[in-house]
A and B are shown apart, each in its own frame.
Chain A
Amino acid sequence: MTEDRFDAIVVGAGPSGNAAAYTMAKSGLKVLQLERGEYPGSKNVQGAILYADAVEKVIPDFREDAPLERHVIEQRLWMMNEASHTGIHYRSDDFNEERPNRYTIIRAQFDKWFSRKVREAGAVVLCETTVTELVRGGRGEVIGVRTDRDGGCVLADVVVLADGVNGLVGQRAGLRTELEPDTVALAVKEMHFLPREVIDARFNLKGDEGAVIEAMGTVTDGMVGTAFLYTNRESISVGIGCLVSDFAQSQTTPYQLLERFKRHPSIGPLLAGSEVKEYAAHLIPEGGYKAVPEICGDGWVVVGDSGHFVNAIHREGSNLAMTTGRIAGETVARLKRSGAACTRANLAEYRASLDASFVMKDLRKYKDVPRFLDRTRQVFGLYPHLINQASQTWFRVDGVDKRTKEREILASFRKSRSLGGLIGDAIKLARAWR
């Protein structure tokens, strides 16, 4: 390991770490980035949808050579029970634009590309190196990291913790508390390969158009969670995730739950004949605003999943990761330029910038939603079931008059959840959402 001293050390080469390393290196800082995987991306898992806006703010011309799969023109939101789904679909030709808004990506490929940009910007990227602990100075300030490469120690003015959802480095240094099982979701995912034209035909797509499905309902077996299906060029990403606390209580294994989702009559035909090439699992921080730890201190700042920056309601994570990484990088670069030290007081600028951005605004908006969902389980089982039952009653033509059908539907809701219960749930949702 090099004995050099760096302006900044970035722990981790995911979207947040790459955005931070790139931003600082572009500003002329001497940056070292450490990644435990064989190559950047080899330990990373995502659905994955990439939001162009967050990437553009780091690398404006990323579309020229980034490995993008399809741009998303259709979003389907499904509520499922055992045999059915009731959905809201939004598809628009407006999404076939010169600079598309959302893309599906394959993370291992995207992260490799992003890392190449980081190197080109001048950062030193060292893979196969696990950071084992933070090194502290006399006043307790962070002055560097120790790695598993011959116990080597590297020093820097600031350490950017982009070490992912488990956030082990910061947690072991006492900078944050351990994650609670009801603030993280475990997601499992498979990559299903199919010829491009088969995917085009099954989802009514042409060219690089893509469609994505987000699903909730009885598919999560009463647990708080959602499932997804995203179209890539020649593959489909399919997965399901639920709170870790729920998986710990349930007797259903994550892989059995995934299997069941894949065999749902609404999903099965979309995957038929595919070849599975990978099975992955990853945690997603879903505790929202209230689970965000301290994000900066003397000589350190936290970005991405490690800082719990995920908007679970909108399934946004990589954009919050890149935005927090970029803003942290800009803050450090600004301090460096003005000759100011990376102290807690000076780095508070990072927190202030985040507060003024969509990152904290959105997290704050939904701060009560995780608790609402945890306490209103009927959102994941009963309501999707009732809605599908109602759809069937409504659409089936069987000689029963429409007024009777309407009464039947209302009665089914009242019987399962009582009028008071229905109104109570609606009020709680409105309060948590606003």
Chain B
Amino acid sequence: MTTASAGVPAVKVEEKLFQNRYLVDAGRPHIRVRPHDTPSKALLALTHACPAGCYSLNDRGQVEISADGCLECGTCRIVCAKTGEIEWNYPRGGYGVLFKFG
């Protein structure tokens, strides 16, 4: 058995998100990462577990979020529920992702 991505070129999630419709609530992100020095294992996991690739590591080794492409699934909320490192709310009514097909 071979590993996950053998022979499959890396996909850019941005190209997938580009197909979607969003109404971004400018200046009011619905998810925030609380200030931290060193991310927990759970918070670090979000850099690859988030299906929209919203989480990334900055050059100081901290996890940052850009929630504009968020699909509002709640994965990050559940992974970090115990560590309390993220603050998660639904976007204000009407904002966020708008699924055409779902």
List residues of chain A with CB under 8 Å of any chain B CB. 36-38, 41-46, 48, 81-82, 106-109, 111, 127-130, 147-149, 165-166, 168, 178-181, 184, 186, 188, 190-191, 218, 221, 235, 244, 247-257, 259-260, 263, 276-283, 381, 385
Residues on B lying within 8 angstroms of A by beta carbon are 1-8, 10-11, 13, 16-17, 19-20, 23, 42, 45, 48-49, 51-53, 71-75, 77-79, 81, 89-94, 96-102
With A107-B102, A259-B11 in contact, do A279 and B45 touch (Cβ < 8 Å)?
no
CB pair B102–A249 under 8 Å, yes or no, is: no
**Contact in complex: A218, B101 (CB < 8 Å):** no
Residues of A within 8 A of B8 (CB): 256, 259-260, 263
Partner of A260, one of B1, B5, B19: B5
Per CB-CB distance, the 4 closest pairs between chain A and chain B, nearest first, are A128-B94, A107-B102, A281-B51, A279-B16
How many residue pairs between the two chains, A and B, have CB atoms under 8 Å in the bound complex? 156
Residues of chain A contacted by B13 (CB below 8 angstroms): 253, 255
Chain A residues contacting B77 (CB-CB under 8 Å) are 166
Cβ-defined contact, A107 with B51, below 8 A: no
Nearest-CB residue, chain B, relative to A382: B1
**Across the two chains, which residue of chain A brings its CB closest to B16?**
A279
Specify which chain A residues have a CB less than 8 angstroms from the CB of B96 in the assembled complex.
43
Are A260 and B4 neighbours in the complex by a CB distance under 8 Å? Answer: yes
Max chain B C-beta neighbours (<10 A), residue from A107, A127, A248: A248
Asked whether B102 lies within 8 Å of A127 as measured between CB atoms, the reply is no
For B4, what are the chain A residues with a Cβ–Cβ distance below 8 Å? 221, 250-252, 256-257, 260
B23 in contact with A111 (CB, 8 Å): no
Interchain CA distance A279-B97 in the complex, whole Å: 11
CB <8 Å contact, B49 and A43: no
Give the complex CA separation of A133 and B6 in angstroms.
47
Closest residue of chain B to A235 (Cβ to Cβ) is B101
Are A280 and B92 in contact, CB atoms less than 8 angstroms apart?
Answer: no
Pair A281/B53 contact, Cβ less than 8 Å:
no
Contact (Cβ within 8 A) A108 B100: yes
* Interface pair A42/B98, CB less than 8 Å apart: yes
Supposing A38-B23, A256-B10 touch, asked if A244 and B79 sit within 8 A by C-beta, the answer is: yes
